[in-house]
Amino acid sequence: MALQYDGGVILGADSRTSTGAYVANRASDKITCLTDYVYLCRSGSAADSQIISDYVRYFLNQHTIQLGRPATVKTAATLVRELSYQNKSFLEAGLIVGGWDKYDGGSIYAIPLGGTALKLPFATGGSGSSYLYGFLDQAWKEGMSKEEAEALVVKAVSLAMARDSGSGGVVRTVVINEQGVTRNFYAGDKLPLWHEEIPRQNSLLETFTEAEPMRT
């Protein structure tokens, strides 16, 4: 998901890549760099989203050299959209472009299946996003600070991980603003516990004495 705050954007994602029921990669990085100030959240087919990001990174690299200035988020989004739309019958990739440029500040473009491009204050995608519609309808508000926004992203992604089998692992966030890009990593104890989840321990042996006595 991606969320706009006063000054930039926060991009967040889980780290699970699966082939059927098997978790092929439990520590994936789904937030991919397109330029110094524009990143891409990938979902859907890993191959499709990776190849799109590779092409767009390549084109933006050329474009930046020719333009003489950093590329805008809109330009990156337009390239992603063009590839998604023109090849819609071959691709299965839900993408979110988020970044900062000096003309529009922080911007987020959602590019779901089919290649529709929508500029939004926040966007979600992937299988876990189904569980976030209600949550974000209630919890999102305009004009959040950087800390509030990042906390909301971590909370949302971790809620999705709690209920979606296609999501799991760690939460990665990327904060993009005028000052630059910061990557953060939230795992294990740093993530909140939700309903029916219990605190983790190393072994039963840690709490052996508290075991219930056997009854006949």
Binding site for another protein (CB under 8 A): 55, 59, 62, 82-83, 85-89, 110, 112-118, 120, 130, 133
Min CB(81)–another protein separation in Å: 8
Contact, 162 vs 10, CB < 8 A?
A: no
Min CB(123)–another protein separation in Å: 9
Contact, 45 vs 30, CB < 8 A?
A: no
Min CB(99)–another protein separation in Å: 21
Min CB(5)–another protein separation in Å: 19
Question: Which residue number, 5 or 59, has a Cβ lying nearer to another protein?
Answer: 59
Question: Which residue number, 9 or 91, has a Cβ lying nearer to another protein?
Answer: 91
Question: Which residue number, 91 or 162, has a Cβ lying nearer to another protein?
Answer: 91
User: What Å distances lie between residue 76 and 6, 30, 38, 40, 104, CA to CA?
Assistant: 21, 17, 7, 9, 13
